[in-house]
Structure 1
């Protein structure tokens, strides 16, 4: 098959794409960024060839574009064998199919006829398995391909190996008969035992299990006797060795005590040495501290001399700064006076505005308070109605539950209570607890409770309940009725319906009260009514004697304020400008510099005096010679303490307290062990005596088990001989069949090796499975299973395998061309630059006689491919055609 053109409309993310004028041979590189539709091109080729236009399945449904209600369609122009055709398909809404044949004879088909004619062309001229294999998808896991099922490749291999036309041994009647007999004893796939052989072996295993158990009982009896003898021997040994072990433990305890005392003395001497070392360290520190005092005096004198330089220059700068402050300060004061006058005019305007606004606010509050008063009166009336006991949903649920409990208890009493069934041939009347009861032929039931009296004529029968009946029944009903009556009395209602009515009335009051409260809250807008009233009273009082201007409203008063504010702002800007000019001089940097320098000189003088005083005070406590003598004395004391510690540690080493303690602990453990062994032996002897008495008849059971095992083994040998015979025959037939397969596998291995040597070197070899799948790769003495190869090696091998298949089928096609193009979807992403260069040579070689289509987001990987044709996918989708 050769692809000439492809048109895609509304497939996934592709709205429109046209690929025309594809060369019949060569490498065709279609490139673009991720998610631009490269993989969709391969899917479109698949569905237009293999999916009916009416199909709605897991293959065609993903073709629908997202967020667009349109139908996907694909058009392909290709050549299969001698037939050149164009197949156009649309799926889902407006589904259609159209097949136009242009060679060798023109014809047109639509609908199902187009699908049927396309299937005929594919069946006659296309190997579907080869098409699937040579389309290498982006998500392909690696380099292994099962090639046995590819019919066109099998023909090519048969032709290359000289086995073309040879009958397949696996199809003969002998193989079928052998397989049938084989499955009597083994599974066809895994070779596990089944049926007769499995049953015979299970019988032997069961007999062996019984014989093993019988033998174990016999051996166990013998072991009990042996254990009894060992226990007697162990008890006697322990009793003999115990006195000497006790004596040894006492001797080692004394040695451990003396060693521990020596270790304690050494510890005290270590502490003494640490104190001597601390004294030496302090003496050395005193010498270092004296030297630091001398250095401090020298440094303080040098610092004082450095700071006394430059005092005259700093004094002159401070005098000039003071003069500037005086002149500019006078100008700022004059501007501030003008600013205060403008501020007084602004305050007067603002006072007038406040009076006008206060009058407006007074009138607004009067209207608002009147509305609030009306709402308060209505709310007060509702709250008086709601002040009584209100029935809630919880009260209703409690009453309903109590009423339900009364009903339940009455029914339980009716079901559980004893009854007296009364019938009469003619109608008559009896008395039950003093109440008349009519009795007829259909009968009546009298519920019996403790004390129930039934009077029939002159006979009175009184029911006396037993203890278990007298404490239940009527009491529970009465309790439930009492609880219901208490709830109704508390709510002042006659029955549950009255309770529910009272609850509904309370809800109406609550709803209306909530509505009025919300209205009042909205009217107040979060304000407190008392605060509003107080504010109204305050404003009325303040405005009672106020001289309100009659010609001003709030807007006019605000305008006057704005004019006064503008005048004040102008004066303020003048003050700000002058003040900004004065600001740098206010920092008094020169004065601060003079003060800082003077202060530092005084501090340096104080520091020098203090350093000299500290040195003098230290020299009064001791001279340098005295400090050196103290160091020498501390050093001698440390040497003496170290010598005493050395002698003590030598004594400890000779005594070895840890070893002495361990030896003593071992002796104690031995004494305890001997005593424990004596006790355990006595206990074990008592137990073994009972077990020996219980283990009887073990020898007789063993004889019977051995006889049964011998019979089962004879049966297994007979079945196993037949099974092994058929297995040997099957293996022999399969071996000869594999020899035939190996003969035509060699051309495939040769073709793959020839291509692989370009990439992996001249000493590369491959191990193939029965299905011609690559299982291992060997380079020299280094053999690596396929699954352990790197990602780059796997993707390289995947392409090499398909190139090898395409090359073999091309040799068999008769015209020297590959019947199916090789399509590679975004591969070689894990290939290093050196191997990428080698793979490019193979792409070039394959493109000389084949149509190789590459879909990639990195076209630079194929820059070394000679004679390639590149199609940017963005241009395919925008311009509609590339030539």
Structure 2
């Protein structure tokens, strides 16, 4: 397929776009900013070829224009095989379809007939899979291509691999039948069991499960009988041993009670011993506390004497510090006064400079605004001249074409129509169709059309054409009149008398436009990017400010600036002086000597208070008891502790003899044995009652087991039969697939050779590719480095996507009858991730590809394709405005 022209109306954001007279080979670069409609061009090609004009679906609904109530329409002129045609489709309101075939012979179809004829042409001359593959969209740049699925490429590979006419055309009927039979038993993907085989296996599993349950029921009946015998024996044993166990428990209970009483007595004596120890500790602590109080008095007196030694020196240092703060503080205050006065002078000088600068700016703005106002007035006058309908080159061409058509039709009519030649005495006149014609000795030819009237004197002759007349009027159409009417309509629409007037109006419009552009550029230069309203507002603000201010007389900008610099230097000097004095005063502001004196005084007061508290605490303790009283209390507490210890020792000996823990455990074991025997007898009675019922319920388990075994054998035989058929079809399918894969493997080498030849230009001479059975690229190797497709960089993936399409196009072109690629290669906004060096190499491949086929590139960055030789570039903005490729 070759594309000759494409017209798009009211599709998404495109109101109108035209592509005309596209070359049959070469690289065509259509470029524009994002969201200008480049991808819409590819979508329009798709819908006009593949969507019925009456379709209202998810493909056609997004075609509706944005913010306009109009119906999308697409017209395509193309060649498929020997057929050249124009298909026009409109969707939704006013939907229609028209197909005009111009070669090999002319035909016209409309509506459903047009759709049917287009389907017939596509079926005979277009490989839809190849069309889809070679229309490379942005979202296809990272994926691989299943090339074996493209029928035209398969035919080309058959010829290249020497298998033409052989298994390249696979026995699809046999494969389909095998796949249908295979689907009875296995899933197509993983080969899991399904349908008959799965049902047969499930039936066997169900029978085996039922047999297992019957076997378990029979085994359970046997276990119930055995359990009943064991329960009877257990009940009899428990009832026999129970009386002796009860007597043993009563004897061990008495012994455990005596042992517990001995343990309780020992616990009471342990508490007495603990209280005696606490009394001794309190008496000893009182002696230690009295000694600590005396030591505290001695330490407090020593600390007070040490603190008083530095009091005189600290007092003198604090007085000197106070004197320095007063003297240097007065000097700093005078320096700050001088700094404030210098600051006031600086601000006054700065205000004067600002007023002088504002006055100068106000005058400059006034002059600039006057010039801009003059330009605006001239531009307004030109806009008034340019108002209304402006005649363009397109209008002139239309009138020229209409005038030429009138001349042509008149000449044709003059050659084809019948004529009446009239001669007479010079000065004689006749009337032809209401117009007076002068006659003379030379013959005057009057064209005869149906209804032509010639009046000679009182005689009027009217010409009536017969049925055999072949003139335009006989067919009901006057082409000269139609051409003249078209010309008159164009001149009336343009309000011009003739073609010269149209050309003159076009030239006048050009002059106005050129002068308007020159004045606009002059105004832009004069404004230097500023907004006139902003400049006027600034001028008004400055005028208002200066009207209320008192301008310094006789002061210019340089003088005011010099005064400002002098005032600033004086301010800086005063600030420096104040900072120097402030830094000198900083150490004295810390008041370290004053703080040290205050801290020492506070510590002396604290030491005096501590000595007083220590003496008071010692005196209070001596009033409560003397040191001799404390010693006597210690001796008495020690004797009481010794007596309590002896009593506790004798009690512990008695506890050891009776061993309370052992007695309690022996009694606990006896109680547990009695409870166990009673529970065993009760449990046996309960179990016997339950087992009796279960034995009665399990009657018939043997018969159920026999039936389950018979059902399992039947299910096993059926599974064997189905499995044999399933394994047979699996073997047949695997054999067919293996032979098919052998044939497909022969495709790989021609395709790999073609892809490698193209790829060596970009990736180097040692590049190789690993292909799948479907000729999808799986890995790329350069030298010893092999990288899977999914791990390649984004740039390498998009380069490989383009190379793969070029390889397919190159192979298919060898199989094409006219030596051309059956469909163009269309690339939507690619090579965005490609580095400059690879971009240069890709440009050489695109150039080479354009020598034999159409390569259409849609991009927002035409600079990427600057190295493509012989390319043709078209800005999409021009296609949407002029509608022609020039």
Shorter chain as denominator, the TM-score bin is 0.3 to 0.5
Report the TM-score, using the length of structure 1 for normalisation: 0.47
